[in-house]
Structure 1
Amino acid sequence: MSTESTPLQSSAVINEAVQTLRDGGLVAFPTETVYGLGADAKNPEAIKKVFASKGRPSTHPLIVHVAAPDKFDQDQIDWVSVLAPWARDISESALKLIAAFWPGPLTLVFNKDKSVPSEATGGQDTVAIRAPAHPMTQDLLRKFKGGIVGPSANRFGKVSPTSASDVRNEFEGMLDLMVLDGGDCEVGIESTIIDLSSGDKPVLLRPGAITPSEILAKTGIQVYQPGEIKKTEEEAALPRVSGSLRAHYAPTTPLRLYAPGRVLDALSEFPDIKSRVAVAVWDSESSLVLEDHPSIDVEEVIVSSDSAAFASRLYRSLRDLDQQAWDLILFPEPPAGEEWDGVRDRLQRACFGSGPSSSSHASS
């Protein structure tokens, strides 16, 4: 089993994690979004261990996690010096976004400094950076005095981990993996990713808890959707980022979405499912009469109609259901609205990648 730790981390445990990273080892760490599988972001060999452990394609870039300076006055934080070892072309818009949302679940994509290993960026000239809000990982980053790459601490393409026990279950055979236990993740889905590398128009590359509307309200910065930006033939395509493959976050059990009020129709589309189906239903709806469906054993699972609460429990629910030997999992389609875009994105990718052959979908 991997090295365990308790939720209340002692300074000695953090120091051990720092030394593990300096020695080129891997440390799983908590963030407010999901748990990350961490390595020294300036150590190419350590970064390769992350890809090998996850079974992740080497062209799929990682996010570099950095420490927020230990100051109480956000206005006095020198973020430029924090970013300088990693990024070039740090704009005023970038500093506005950082001042409003860091530490927190927002990742920014910059043109990379030449010292950043290509292994961390998937061979691209851009680098994705964020400052996680979890106090344990901030402590780890400050003591490490460097950046830590940290994709989700799970096998590639599978459901992301939101607890230390999830990580241990994923990497049960990795005896040398140190797992820091910071409790359950609050946000529950991966960070919002904004591309700042290609000019004065920030582009949303991955939706998350922080929405374009919230960014506009807090900073006055308009974030564009990829399709809203017209690129000349000379300009490069948008950078690749974590979580952008069509199949991702996927349970082994087949997962499908159903339209509002159409759960019985969804069930009837799967006549070969002859035994057990888990159906997630909104807590705001009355109990559905599913037992009338012939030859199918159906069980309701209540999910929150609040977008933030739904997100915080999404991966926990998928992991738990995946371990209960259902033949099919049905989830309701999330409502329209930016606040639901993050979970809609995760569910759509999870559906595409789900099923017993999901590992073969991950590279699609």
Structure 2
Amino acid sequence: MSKNQSFSSVVPDEVQAILLQLVQNDIIPVAVGGVARDFLFGKGSFLDWDFEIRCKDGCDFDLPQKLKSLFSDQVQDLGFGVLRLKTPTMQLEFSLPRREEFPLELHHLNKKPLGHKDVEIILDSSMSFEESFKRRDLTINAIGFKFENDAWTMIDPYQGAADIENKIARPVSQDFAFDPVRYLRAIRFKILFNLEFSKEMNEAFAASNLAVASDHYLLYESTKAGFFPFMRQFFDLVEQHKTKIPEEWEELKFLQYNEMPALFCPPDQLLLQATWQGPWTLSDLGKLERFLKLRRGRAKHFVTGKDFVSDFSEIDWSDKLSKWKQTAWIDLVQDELFLKCVEGHKHFDSWVVAEEQLLVELYQKELASFIAWRSIFSRSLKGSEAFSKNQKADEVLPSQRSIYKIYCHLKAD
């Protein structure tokens, strides 16, 4: 079976029906970007469909208006010649052929960095595939499958299919260096598809300038590639090619030599696992906290929890509980470990329940002693009646009430 024939097997019936309607109205759709790339790599969920659309030869009409007339209120105009079509189960994006023009020559880029938005977009439904695909970052992303006459035809003006087969990351053109996001995307694809950088790719990195790049894109691209492997690769490249980066990114260089595995999870979970598995100081974790845009104090919160877990390890909590049950209030209130447990209980009760559950799930073997401790010093405390009745008899000071509450809880078991 040819690539053209087998591509039809991944096209959902719902998408196929929409494309047939387009073709019947003289619109030729070309599946582009991730869906074409992932198909050729043999992986992907094929849920996000992007199309470049053209008028059939000999036709001349307003493509966006035509699309809106066919699908009415299902179509959302995103600007820059991009339209989104929402269906009950997915969304499709249609764009007009375009090229990108940048406001300076490549050799000036070192002195005048460009941002992601410093580009002029030229729309032209009559331009060739070679011209419109030139705006793509990598050859592996400059592939399309055109649907016409009930058949699919692969469009590959930059030999991206060969680079996929040979696992090579290669830029489509020198324009790669103008957009700092492409630098980051190239690293993501290298990691996800186990690619090697071509000679042209390294030349493009050397010409790039990320000095005004946005935190948003570094965070977005890195988390889509497991974050920690991405940061290793990123800072290696920055060092190798002497790439200029924003000053605030410099403080993340401690991540260059990390040995953490790829983690595909939300930012707060990244910080949690960095705290538990990584070798970093609170100062380093605070820098990571800021980059991940988390609430101030989260790093210290997790480090404090880790310290408590360390303090509570290698203790026979069953034996300790038995002894404490036989200990009078006046003596127990002097017990340093008991007082540490009261502090630990207060701290872990401040954790989000799901956060604590994740910690236990991830590190169950390492946290056996903590789990035993938490089964005693749980979120739900008993002994409320004794707490109310016996404070006067036990001469509990106002400052000791929270400690006494734990004491009554232990006695109630």
Scaled to the shorter chain, the TM-score interval is under 0.3
Larger CA Rg, structure 1 vs 2: 2
> Which structure is higher in strand share?
1
Q: Give TM-score, length-normalised by structure 2.
A: 0.21
Query: Structure 1-normalised TM-score?
Result: 0.23
The structure in which a higher percent of residues are helix is 2
Structure scoring higher RCO (CA < 8 A, sep ≥ 6) equals 1
